[in-house]
Amino acid sequence: MKRTRTFELKGALDPEETQGIVGGISIYRDMLTAGWLVPVIKIQKMTRFDAESVLAAWKRLCDEGIHALREAAAENARSISESEATKWA
């Protein structure tokens, strides 16, 4: 009989659970781009988020609104692309 090992963290959420909490895949991606969500574990195909930080990001979204999230995501994406351009220049 083959033994399988499951890797579960208490209070850890996978990306699908995180998307369900924050309200969908587009908001999830914007939160990642803006830096509001940061994975606790990111190894090959396994990504996990801390449940407390997911709830904190969701509360921040409720307080500040979707426009603040989209602006932060656009600003962060712009700064990342600028740093990539200067790295290769």
Give the per-residue pLDDT at 10.
60
The answer to the question of residue 2 being in a domain is no
- Tell me the C-alpha distance between 27 and 59, whole Å: 13
Quickly list H helices, the chain.
15-22, 25-34, 51-64, 66-88
Parent domain of 59: 12-88
The answer to the question of residue 72 being in a domain is yes
The answer to the question of residue 1 being in a domain is no
The answer to the question of residue 55 being in a domain is yes
48 contacts 9 by C-beta, under 8 angstroms: yes
The answer to the question of residue 22 being in a domain is yes
Q: How many domains does the chain have?
A: 1
Q: How far apart are the first and last CA of the chain?
A: 56
| pLDDT tens-digit readout, 60-85 | 999 999 999 999 999 998 887 777 65
- Tell me the C-alpha distance between 83 and 52, whole Å: 31
The answer to the question of residue 51 being in a domain is yes
Is a pLDDT exceeding 70 seen at residue 88? no
The answer to the question of residue 21 being in a domain is yes
The answer to the question of residue 73 being in a domain is yes
Q: Supply the mean pLDDT for the chain.
A: 85
